[in-house]
Amino acid sequence: MELGKFLTAPEYGFVIVTYRDIFQSAALEKSRFGEEYRKLSAVIKMDSGDIKKLGVVEGDTVVVKNACGKVVVRVEESGYDVPHQGVAYMPNSPWSNSLVSADTGGTGVPKYKMIKVMVSNARGEAITGMM
């Protein structure tokens, strides 16, 4: 049995910015409960340096959590030309919204594009299901 399994995976702080994706929007129109929508929504896009730091490779799952909630999602490399360590991107979806704070600071507008989270290697844990 691997000893590593019992050690907690190190956590790193990130800011998540949400975005829209045409393929995910098209999947949403067809079925919010389908595999395609889940596959295209439960995703976090990261800088290649951050992916290495977390000890994962593209396609692995990571735990993304904060005081509002926790989700397990699949890692993708962002492919952006400018490095963006510490900033990650998620398509707007129930997965990202599980992490958005209810506190709007009196504005009525949640911080959808400024979600502070901790991310760690999920070590094979499956993607979080929604309902």
Partner 1 sequence: MVNCLNKNYYVCTGCALLCDDIEVEVSGDHITKIKTVCRKGFSRIGGCIEPMPCTSDGKSVDITTAIKDAASILMNADNPLIFGLGNSTSGAQKQAIELAKRIGAVIDDSSSFCQGPIIEAILHEKIHTCTLDDVRNRADVIVYWGADPSNSHPRHLSMHSYFPRGEERQHGWEDDRTAIAIDVRRSHTAKICGNRFYQIPLHTDAFLIEALIDALSGKVPKVPFEYDIKKILELANVLKKAQFGVIFAGLGVVYSIGDMGTMTRLMDKLNEVSNFHLIPMMGHYNMRGFNQNLFEATGYFNRVKFEKRENGFDVKHGVDYSIMEVLNTKKTDAALIIGSDPMSCLPRSTAEYLSEIPLVSIGPCENFTSRVAKVTIPSALSGVECGGSAVRMDGVKVTFEPMIKTARLSDEEILKRIMEAI
> Which residues sit at the interface with partner 1, rule CB under 8 A?
15, 17, 19-23, 25-27, 29-34, 68-69, 78, 80-82, 84, 87, 89, 92-94, 97-98, 100-102, 104, 106-114, 130-131
> What type of residue is 94?
P
**CB contact burial 68-88 (16+ within 10 A = b; e otherwise):** eeebbbbbeebeeeeebeebb
Nearer to partner 1, 90 or 121 (CB): 90
Q: What is the nearest approach in angstroms of partner 1 to the Cβ of residue 6?
A: 30
Q: What is the nearest approach in angstroms of partner 1 to the Cβ of residue 36?
A: 10
- Residue with the two structure tokens 């691997």: 2
